[in-house]
Chain A
């Protein structure tokens, strides 16, 4: 077996990563998970294979992870997204650290020690607060495209506070602020702040900090804001949205790569 793949079937997107024996990424892709996790996993895998320019008869050992990990029929093993994120993150940042992963439907804080073992984790899935789903809902309210959030927030020079914990309350708060004439760019920055606050509430963020996930991949300004808040540098792996899938591929390699 020469090729190893990780498929991370998240609640909103499905990610695939193919690596070789040297842990080199040969191909990757991100697809919407939609309502058919199995199909999404197949699609993401097919595209990653295409990118990797591998022949159809090549064999892969696949580890699946994420919300829909059990829907990946071609996976040889499954691991939780917690373990895979820790694995992926430690590869790029091989020191003890705290990983903050902000995904589409959840946020996770994972503690990794200097040997790469997990020492603890927390996962928030109780509500959308602090996740990609929250951003989507707010963008929807403000009638702006998700891709525009980052550049809008960057332009803001104000500090608007969105205080509510709950997504519905936050939406009401935003309506009030619109009525008061607050500018959209300032609101977006306030929304970013709110995501940061939710993460800070989950765990004391001590030591080295790494951030991953789709929200981070698409909104680098959020990371800058976070750095300012924590007064330290935050490390972001090269393909932040693929951290879990990459970690799963590393597990696949460990299991079958000798």
Chain B
């Protein structure tokens, strides 16, 4: 009998609760798709989800499916399928793995959830290009394939100050989506319902923020690698009471850990920032590697990207436009540098790790000299590792680990 390796990763008790609400979510989507009601909308991860929910859609997030493909290590079975039909290995590997899995009619969801045969088919595809152009191309592929409309918001990128004219344009574009969405959902837009969803989403955001801020404690109670999993509800269940409830439970557990000085990394010695996408297929492996190095990856841009504290039910359209424009990925280098500087100070970090993800330039912030500028300004070192969110062909285990290990040796010798 094979003996299961005992993991050094400490258990988070709330994970059971997380699994339950995530399962409920996927079953609800599946049921809706099978019964044809309520209608299913696909939404980009920082798209206008609250509007869709208010119109009665159940919402599927293809990027979440991308992450599922990555973390189940299935992505590399599917990426070549999309490459073969002309979608380059250099573009978003969420896109290529998701499209590839659709073509092959397979999904890890059916292994995880009995009775689910495939991803819930959409009645409409809604994106916001605030994060990248790939979401639009991704949704357009499905639009052509399935004959459903792909509509979206075209937004501003690489911006410093958020100007009123940007927001007005986004508000207008959001409003323009409504007639199509009403027609497809069969429901009339109701601003009070919209306010209600936005208010729940705001609550979820604020709770998620508290969860992340718990890591200001030394030792940090939750690792970046765990946080990427526990982030699930903040992405796919925002706007629901379940997400808010979940983060209350999780926060309580983390506070207990803080009280007991029970860090995610035993004998935490160094604290790092993770800038960039997770390497989904290597979460567990890297988590254990960092535990061995007694290094806590404490904070990240990625997990903080689902904090939308500008949501204001009193002014739903404008505040939503602001919230989805304020996020890191949309901003210019100056904003990003200040943001990371604040993080470094707030979480008392010793160094910054940049993940240069081959297929996502939008989340690879090492490419325009930022590590060098930050090292100079903050007087803490940084390291860049080459990899990818999903395409493990772009990741050299040995190279990445030697780089990280050498980086920790450098911190030790200071």
Select the stretch in A50-58, A74-82, A156-164 that faces chain B. Answer: A74-82
Using a CB-CB cutoff of 8 Å, which residues 61-119 of chain A contact chain B?
67, 79-83, 117-119
The 6 A-B pairs at the shortest CB distance, nearest first, are namely A82-B406, A80-B406, A83-B409, A125-B399, A118-B410, A80-B405
Main secondary structure of the interface of A (DSSP, over half): mixed
Q: A125-B396, A126-B386 are in contact. Are A118 and B402 (CB under 8 A)?
A: no
> What is the distance, in angstroms, from A181's C-beta to the closest C-beta of chain B?
37
A34 within 8 A of B: no
Q: How far is the CA of A123 from the CA of B407 in the complex (A)?
A: 11
With an 8 A cutoff between CB atoms, is A220 at the interface?
Answer: no
* Residue A121 lies at the interface, judged by CB distance under 8 Å to chain B: yes
User: In this complex, what residue of A is CB-closest to B385?
Assistant: A123
Residues of A within 8 A of B403 (CB): 123
Q: Which residue of B lies closest to A83 (CB)?
A: B409
Q: Is the CB of A80 within 8 A of B402?
A: yes
B-contacting residues of A (Cβ < 8 Å)? 67, 79-83, 117-121, 123, 125-126
A117 near B413 with CB under 8 A, answer: yes
B118 within 8 A of A: no
Q: B401 — nearest CB in chain A belongs to which residue? A: A80
Segment 33-81 of B: residues with Cβ below 8 Å from A? none
**Number of inter-chain CB pairs below 8 Å:** 37
Contact A123 B409 (CB under 8 A): no
Query: Chain B's nearest CB lies how many Å from the CB of A165?
Result: 15
| Given A67-B398, A83-B413, A123-B406, 17 new contacts (CB under 8 A) | A79-B409, A80-B405, A80-B406, A82-B409, A82-B410, A83-B409, A83-B410, A117-B413, A118-B409, A119-B381, A119-B410, A120-B410, A123-B399, A123-B402, A123-B403, A125-B396, A125-B399
- Min Cβ gap A96→B in Å is 14
- Whether the Cβ atoms of A82 and B402 lie closer than 8 Å is yes
B381 nearest CB neighbor, chain A only:
A120
Minimum distance in angstroms from A81 CB to a CB of chain B: 7
Q: How far is the CB of B368 from chain A (nearest CB, A)?
A: 16
Min CB distance A169 to B, Å, is 17
**Which of B375, B386, B396, B413 has the most C-beta atoms of chain A within 10 angstroms of its own C-beta?**
B413
Interchain nearest-CB distance for A6 vs B (Å)? 15
**Can you show 15 pairs from A to B with CB atoms below 8 A apart?**
A79-B409, A80-B402, A80-B409, A81-B402, A82-B402, A82-B406, A82-B409, A117-B413, A118-B410, A119-B381, A119-B410, A120-B410, A125-B396, A125-B399, A126-B386
B414 located at the interface, meaning its Cβ lies under 8 Å from any Cβ of chain A in the complex: yes
Q: Which residue of B lies closest to A120 (CB)?
A: B381
Give B382-403 as 1s and 0s: 1 = Cβ < 8 Å from A's Cβ atoms: 0000100000000010110011
Q: Within the complex, what minimum Cβ distance (angstroms) separates B270 from chain A?
A: 15
Docked complex Cα distance between A158 and B29 (Å): 69
Residues from chain B with a CB closer than 8 A to the CB of A123 are 399, 402-403, 406
* Cα of A163 to Cα of B236 in the assembled complex, Å: 48
With A82-B402, A123-B402 in contact, do A117 and B414 touch (Cβ < 8 Å)? Answer: yes
A117–B402 Cα distance when bound, in Å, is 18
| CB proximity of B190 to chain A, nearest CB, Å | 53
Residue of A nearest to B402 (CB): A80
Q: Are B386 and A120 in contact (CB under 8 A)?
A: no
B406 to chain A, nearest CB (A): 4
Q: Which residue of A lies closest to B405 (CB)?
A: A80
Task: Given the known inter-chain contacts A80-B405, A126-B386, please indicate yes or no for A121 contacting B410, CB distance below 8 A.
Answer: yes
Counting chain A CB atoms within 10 Å of each CB, the highest count among B396, B402, B405, B414 belongs to: B402
Q: Which residues of B sit under 8 angstroms from A82, Cβ to Cβ?
A: 402, 406, 409-410
Q: Which residues of A contact B398 (CB under 8 A)?
A: 67
Q: CB-CB < 8 A to A81: which residues of B?
A: 402, 406
A120–B407 CA distance with the chains assembled, in angstroms = 8
> Which residue on chain A has the smallest CB distance to residue B410?
A118
Contact B375–A118 (Cβ < 8 Å): no
B61–chain A nearest beta-carbon distance, Å: 32
Which residues of A have CB within 8 Å of B406? 80-83, 121, 123
